[in-house]
Structure 1
């Protein structure tokens, strides 16, 4: 298993246990619920910074500045059913991709994703990370 896959499975456990924060402006709630990106941050770092509760701009900067979290977000973005926003200059914005998927109504279902759907996305991302990064060592010729 890859470290990213392990982190995403940990995020899945956290989301299942605490629940995922409804579509608000902060990244964390005192009752333990977290925004989907904050769930991944907590799973990879083991902490929930106080900025997640009261300063969404700083929370976003903390998420974007952590390479491990951004790697996990790239895998989540890869399995979402839509294309990430971005352009040729700045590249894809994987955090914005997750935010958009979480906050907008699904075209066919006419509702926003729920916690179970987010857990399913985390599961698919973990499986993809494991499958595509855990390559066996090359065999030597006999």
Structure 2
């Protein structure tokens, strides 16, 4: 089983190979490009479900059901300059919406910017998250 840092490194590779999709849905229908969270899922689970191209609700459920993908998405969220919004799942119960935070960051111009982050900037931020985890997580000691 790969670490979250390894999942993030693979995510960066997937985006550099397939391209970054910032349009409707989690995957482009006219190319191999995928949304940043779809790339994380692909890195964690090794597959790109067809729902990513045409069903946002199913895509969200698929990504949220993957613990390794969600750990990596949370790690990316933690290195972003913006705050994560919360979603009310039932009256009085709010949870952070990491998928929305990360996906919106990759497709929205930052404060004072006129363009969203470039693909290279997105990859750089993913690798920063991987490096942060690698520094924070000590190597397993031999028994």
* Off by >4 Å, runs of 4+ in structure 1: none
Partner of 2:25: 26
1:134 alignment partner, one of 128, 134, 138: 138
Q: Please, what TM-score do these two structures have when normalized by structure 2?
A: 0.86
The equivalent residue for 1:125 is: 129
Select the structure of larger CA radius of gyration: 1
- Distance between the aligned counterparts of 2:135 and 2:74, measured in 1? 15
Tell me the distance in 2 between the aligned counterparts of 1:121 and 1:59.
23
Structure 1 residue 90: deviation in Å? 2.1
1:111 match: secondary structure: coil
Q: How far apart are the structure 2 equivalents of 1:76 and 1:90? A: 20
In the alignment, structure 2 segments of 5+ residues that lack a partner are none
- 1:48 is paired with a residue of what secondary structure? coil
Aligned-residue offset at 1:26:
1.3
TM-score, with structure 1 as normaliser: 0.87
Residue of structure 2 equivalent to 1:56? 56
Using the TM superposition, name which of 120-129 and 27-36 deviates more: 27-36
Does residue 81 in structure 1 map to residue 81 in structure 2? yes
Q: Deviations over 1:43-99 (max 9, x none)?
A: 111100011111111011101111110000010000011111127832321111112
Tell me, yes or no, if structure 1 residue 46 matches structure 2 residue 50: no
Higher relative contact order (CA 8 A, sep 6+): 1
* Equivalent residues in 2 for 1:88-99, closer than 5 Å: 89-99=93-103
Greater shift, 64-73 or 28-37, is seen at 28-37
User: How many residues end up aligned between the 2 structures?
Assistant: 137
